[in-house]
Amino acid sequence: MAPGFKKGAKDSPVDKITDDILADIFSRVPYKSICCCKCVSTRWRDLFSHPDHRKKLPQPLAGFFHKGYNKNRFPSEAQYFTNVSGKGDPLVHPSLSFLPNYDSLDILDYCNGLLLCQCCNTSDYVVCNPATEKWVDVPATEWSSEAQARIGFDPAVSSHFHVFEFIDEEGWGIAEEEQHDCFNRIEALAIYSSKAGGWKHQNFDGFEFAVFYDSRSVFFNGILHVATSEGFILAIDVEGNDRGLVTIPIPPYNDDVFVDDIFLSQRQLCTACVDRSQLTVWVLEDYKSEKWTLKHNASLLELFGEGYRGTVISFHPERNCIFVVCGHENTLMSYDMDCRKMCSICQLERDCQPKRVKTPFLPYVPLYSEPLADGN
């Protein structure tokens, strides 16, 4: 609460500050303090949601894009958006109806307010900002129909973005008898720059790894980080030059456990491992020395009850909180690591059990401040 401000006071000095000035002050306040400020008064709460000030103010996690599959429904696979509160109409309509001339789109990835989508019948990409309803068309490569694509974007650096295509041996055209033992080994990388307006590609000579289907990646400090099948994180810059490898912490007593997702929370790379008995959360403390710190562990029995194991789908971007899907009805839950409290958000129902191995959940934080470079 601001100095000199008393709740209920009629002639508080703060009352004389205009909304524009308050919004400018709040834009410099850390996220955790913002959450407290919203509780001070009705005026302050409304200030954060007002369209005239959203461009200046940090936005909270709004919800998740995710897929569902039901063989008795047409189309059998559908896209959903679930609010993080579990209540109310979706903040974003998952059909992205503001995009013209796109009858069927697949949402592939999310990064800092932008969605990477792919047109199902042409394989062309569309990068869009649902908060501003702006979009940019990205032409497909000859490998786009088979490649795994990710997006990199940092609005604090530039309004331009990059699309990364990971192309396996089969997609690259290597004959089956000449392929390596590593299944779906990535042979090449193609990178699109919205600033340059074109693609460039290069081979992964000397690297043997695969990228898990629908695994989460993280774009941070100009580097794309993606988990691989060989137990390490591939870190690569937008030019495709800086190829770093970071080993992922895996419990030594569980050879069958692998980590296929990485996350970003409070400006640190994080990962979570669910083994036979416990949930462990790790944070990369030092990038150069690959030092991971065990941040949290909890018993699966205490969290979910006997016979259940949850799947960690996301970390909260600004809090010590993770999101988990658990049970036959795919219950979306949040787990506060500080108070060790699990809260049920909503049931996603069995439709959100896809025909593939797992459902990709993409967290969404609205971005109102930046237009897309050369966007529509």
Domain that includes residue 190, residue range? 63-364
Instruction: Decide if 180 is inside a domain.
Output: yes
- For 205-215, the pLDDT digits (tens) are 777 888 887 78
CA–CA distances in Å: residue 89 to residues 63, 81, 142, 329, 347: 11, 9, 39, 20, 15
Share of the chain above pLDDT 90, in %: 34
Q: Does 376 score more than 90 pLDDT?
A: no
Instruction: Decide if 163 is inside a domain.
Output: yes
Residues 275, 340 share a domain: yes
Residues 230, 217 share a domain: yes
Average pLDDT value for residue range 38-58: 67
Alpha carbons within 13 angstroms on the beta-carbon side of residue 106 total: 18
pLDDT score of 9:
45
Instruction: Decide if 359 is inside a domain.
Output: yes
- For 261-286, the pLDDT digits (tens) are 899 999 899 998 887 788 899 999 88
Q: Write phi, then psi, for 123 (nearest 5 degrees).
A: 70, 0
- For 360-374, the pLDDT digits (tens) are 789 999 998 766 776
Alpha carbons within 13 angstroms on the beta-carbon side of residue 222 total: 8
Element counts in the chain: helices (H) and strands (E): 5, 23
For the entire predicted model, the pTM comes to: 0.84
pLDDT grade, residue 189 (50/70/90)?
very high
Residues 161, 36 share a domain: no
Domain of 118, CATH number, reads 2.120.10.30
Tokens at residue 103, please? 């009858």
Residues 67, 52 share a domain: no
Average pLDDT value for residue range 279-306: 87
User: Which residue bears the tokens 């896209």?
Assistant: 79
Residues 34, 80 share a domain: no
Q: Write phi, then psi, for 193 (nearest 5 degrees).
A: -110, 125
